[in-house]
Amino acid sequence: MSKILKVSLIGAEFFARHGYYPQEQILGNRFVVDIDAQFSASVNMATDEIANTLNYEQLHNIATEQMQLTKQLLETVAHGIADEIMRRFPYILQLSVCVKKLHPPLKGQVGASAVTVIINNAN
C-alpha cells in the first residue's frame, strides 16, 4: 500500500516590491503565498522523524528567498518559488504554488489578484 502525504504552507505573508509598474516596485505591497506539496511516504511515519517528511520551514525559506527577488509579474514569482522547490525536493509528485497580491492598485476595490502554478511530477 502506498501512502501520499501532502504538506501545506497556507497564508505565508510577505511585503515585497513585485509589480509591472515602476510605482508598484517603489511602494511595494503585501503578498500571500500558499504551497501544497504531495509526495510518497515511503518510510514508516511512526518513527516521528522530520527527515521522513517535507519540512514546511524549508518551504517557507524558499518562498522568503524568492519573494525578495523583485519581479514584474506574479507568474514569474510563482514559477520561481515552484522551480526552486522542485529543484531541492525532486521527489515531490505534485506541487501547487499560489501567489496573491493583496489589494492590487486597480480602479475599484479588489481583495487580491492571484496566480497559481501547478506541477504534476507523477509519472
Handedness of CA 58, 63, 64, 65 (dihedral sign): positive
Total structural domains within the chain? 1
Backbone angles phi, psi at 18, to 5 degrees: -80, 140
Instruction: Determine contact, residues 13/28, Cβ cutoff 8 Å.
Output: no
The mean per-residue pLDDT over the stretch 104-123 comes to 91
Q: Residue 8, SS3? A: strand
How far apart are alpha carbons 121 and 110 in whole angstroms? 34
Asked if the model's pLDDT at residue 45 lies above 80, the reply is: no
The mean per-residue pLDDT over the stretch 30-50 comes to 81
β partners of residue 6: 38
CATH of residue 30's domain is 3.30.1130.10
Asked if the model's pLDDT at residue 1 lies above 70, the reply is: no
Residue 83: pLDDT band by 50, 70, 90 thresholds? very high
The mean per-residue pLDDT over the stretch 27-55 comes to 81
Domain residues for 100? 4-120
